[in-house]
Amino acid sequence: MKNKNFKKTSFSQKRLSKSDQMLLVGISLALVYWLIETMMQMFFSNKFNFFTALIGSSLDESWPRLVVLCLFVIFGSHAQFTINSRKEAEDALRISEERFRTLVENVPIGIIRTHPDRPGRILMVNPACLKMFGYDSEDEIRQLSIADLFIDVTDKNSFFTNLFKNNNIFWHEVRLIKKDKASFWGSVTARLSNEDNIDENQYIDCTIEDVNERKLTAEKMKEDAATRQRFQRLLSPDLAEMVVSGQLKVEKGGEDRVATVMFADIRNFTAMSENMPAAEILKMLNEYFEVVVEIAFLHEGTVDKFIGDGIMLVWGAPVVHGDDPARSLRAALDIQAMVLEFNNNRQSQGIEPIQVGIGINTGHLVAGYIGANRTMSYSVIGDTVNTAARLCNAAKGGQILISENTTSQTLKDSFNLQELEPIIVKGKNKPVKVFEALGDKRPSNIRFFLN
């Protein structure tokens, strides 16, 4: 309350001071007139009594002077009030312009004013715009037009077409170019402007916001989502997330690796499919593959591809472990254990059981992206892959055949392996020495629950 009273008092004192000045001007003019009138009276009347001439010898002589005195006071007051009002208006305009200039110079968004023609020659920019485009002075950027700031011709044409059609354009995201030829994403809002009482467009006023970071972040998120979706079909979710985050590198192009390849195939599938409706065959395959993929992911393997009723799994590409052969063999034993449970479930429903043969081989191969640009997928190729496929073809239902290249002293110590007679496989001049995996010497911690 005290502050309010203080403000009111200050305001009254300010107005009173102005009134005193106005009154002083009016009184001064009136006194000058009165003295001149007195001197003229003395001159024309030949009366040299100054006091009598000053105040008048009668009321008839005095009241016209009093009226003129009041008129001068009113005139002076009005003149002073008009001068003060104009000065206040000029001060307010100057303060407003300074505030606007300060706002324009400090706003973080670029502001550009251009000619209303198609190229849009630049007339004015604010400091934020100079900084955004990397120019040192306003004179330097004024040599350009707004069309010169666009990278893509299509974006430029679209900008001008929509602007002249609708008289404005909002949040038009385009690629823009800096002085050093670096590009960035900008969000452009523009409108055609004109002065009061002028119908023709005088300017194009634009604001430009640097959205490069947001745009690149959105593109990175989109790319990560596509990468995640692609690798989730190949790897376990944890490994796929490592690829997306960059913790696990998957190089584009082929690279030589040592990896272990497994093929698992359902025996007599062709004959089985002839006696079952297609819908039931598809349902059975989906249930079977669902569990096989889960087993592969539990052992951190990679799903390379599905081949009809068969599946190809890889250990060592793109993820490398020190015990990839052992991981593949444990996965094979778990798959065969799963098939037994799977068949128990099928037999309880009166459905024919299935038998799965598995072949495993280890060796050098080429790993990388294979296919056309729009349909590329990660895969492995080479003689190691072909041999694993041949071993799978040679395996009987419920049997796991592994090559000599896959076995090691560590594997022999950890698993029950039985050496078999060498087998002749297609594409090999010499018989291939093979072993059959009979079981794991350590108990498996994995349990499968099938509905």
The CATH classification number of 110-210 equals 3.30.450.20
Provide the residue ranges of all domains of the chain, joining segments of one domain with +: 2-105, 110-210, 250-440
Tens of each residue's pLDDT in the chain, 451 residues: 444 443 444 434 444 444 456 566 666 766 776 777 666 666 666 655 555 555 655 656 666 667 777 776 777 677 777 777 788 878 877 776 677 567 666 677 888 888 877 777 888 888 888 888 989 888 888 888 888 888 888 888 888 888 888 888 888 888 899 988 898 988 889 888 765 544 555 778 888 888 888 888 888 888 777 777 766 665 666 666 766 676 666 666 678 889 999 999 999 998 888 888 888 899 999 999 999 999 998 998 988 899 999 999 999 988 888 999 999 999 999 999 999 999 998 888 888 899 999 999 999 999 887 776 666 677 899 999 999 999 999 999 999 999 999 988 678 888 999 999 998 888 778 889 999 999 988 765 554 444 4
pLDDT at position 397? 93
DSSP 152: -
pLDDT at position 235? 61
Domains 110-210 and 250-440 alike in fold:
no
pLDDT at position 197? 47
pLDDT at position 193? 74
pLDDT at position 32? 74
The letter for the amino acid at 79 is A
The letter for the amino acid at 448 is F
pLDDT at position 95? 78
Distance CA 12, CA 171 (A): 50
Q: Identify whether the C-beta of residue 262 lies closer than 8 Å to the C-beta of residue 358.
A: yes
Q: Which tokens go with 214?
A: 């947001």
pLDDT at position 88? 82
Q: Which tokens go with 441?
A: 């010497």
For the 250-440 domain, the top CATH level (class) is alpha beta
Contacts of 124 (CB under 8 A, 6+ apart): 111, 112, 113, 138, 142
pLDDT at position 44? 62
Alpha carbon separation from 433 to 117, 312, 330, 365 (Å, rounded): 82, 21, 20, 20
Per DSSP, the residues of 199-254 read -S--EEEEEEEE-HHHHHHHHHHHHHHHHHHHHHTTS-HHHHHHHHHTSS---SS-
